[in-house]
């Protein structure tokens, strides 16, 4: 009665976070078949690949507040690395989702996490500055000036 339907696959064309729930092909009284696809965004993709790893990065940055006060380099390096990883996640995610003219929730999420990580870095630097002032190791400024050629020759020859 009806001619055989043309079958094709659309799955390789879809991003990995989309799914076709119920493809249906119907034939109305016209001579053209009508194809209908129901698309649903799979939110588990974003939770597993974006929200959870970025949340873990901020938790790692928060843990640096519990490090020993004398380990400033360890604290700041972990926080800066966490900030760098968050920025990389944000760039990667922004490239994989459709471009829109409005602000998306994922953009707000990453901006908030990056701001929080930056605030942690500022607090670490502030605490280190207070610790150094308290210990009497304030900021020391050494004036450096160029020496004359005669002074350089005298120092090189050992005639001090």
- Which backbone phi and psi does 98 adopt, to 5 degrees? -60, 145
What's the confidence (pLDDT) of residue 110? 95
> Alpha-carbon distance 97 to 106, whole Å?
10
> Alpha-carbon distance 73 to 75, whole Å?
5
> Is residue 136 very low, low, confident or very high in pLDDT (cuts 50, 70, 90)?
confident
Domain ranges of the chain: 11-41, 43-134
Report the alpha-carbon angle 106-88-91, nearest 5.
Answer: 50
Range from 3-17, 72-86, 109-123, 145-159 carrying the lowest mean pLDDT: 3-17
Query: Structure pTM?
Result: 0.62
- Mean residue pLDDT of the chain comes to 80
* Continuous H helices in the chain: 43-46, 52-63, 72-96, 105-134, 149-157
What's the confidence (pLDDT) of residue 37? 73
> Can you tell me the mean pLDDT for 12-27?
54
What's the confidence (pLDDT) of residue 128? 92
What's the confidence (pLDDT) of residue 2? 46
CATH fold of 43-134 reads: Methane Monooxygenase Hydroxylase; Chain G, domain 1 (1.20.58)
What's the confidence (pLDDT) of residue 7? 46
Measure the N-to-C terminal CA separation of the chain; round to a whole number of Å.
Answer: 111
What's the confidence (pLDDT) of residue 81? 96
pLDDT in tens, 77-113: 999 999 999 999 999 988 888 888 888 989 999 999 9
Range from 57-66, 112-121, 133-142 carrying the lowest mean pLDDT: 133-142
Please check the confidence at residue 122 and state whether its pLDDT lies above 50.
Answer: yes
pLDDT in tens, 9-19: 444 455 555 55
Q: Identify the CA nearest to 69 among candidates 142, 140, 125.
A: 125
> Alpha-carbon distance 112 to 55, whole Å?
11
């Amino acid at each position: 009665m009806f001619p055989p339907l043309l079958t094709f696959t659309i799955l390789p064309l879809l991003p990995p976070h989309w799914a076709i729930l119920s493809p249906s092909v119907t034939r109305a009284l016209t001579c053209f078949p009508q194809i209908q696809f129901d698309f649903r965004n799979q939110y588990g993709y974003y939770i597993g690949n974006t929200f959870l790893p970025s949340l873990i990065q901020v938790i790692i940055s928060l843990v640096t507040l519990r490090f020993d006060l004398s380990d400033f380099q360890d604290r700041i390096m972990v926080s800066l690395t966490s900030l760098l990883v968050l920025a990389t996640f944000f760039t990667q995610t922004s490239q994989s989702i459709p471009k829109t003219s409005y602000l998306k929730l994922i953009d707000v999420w990453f901006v908030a996490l990056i701001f929080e990580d930056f605030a942690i870095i500022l607090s670490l630097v502030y605490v280190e500055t207070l610790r150094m002032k308290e210990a009497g190791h304030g900021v020391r400024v050494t004036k450096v000036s160029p020496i004359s050629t005669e002074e350089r020759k005298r120092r090189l020859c050992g005639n001090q």
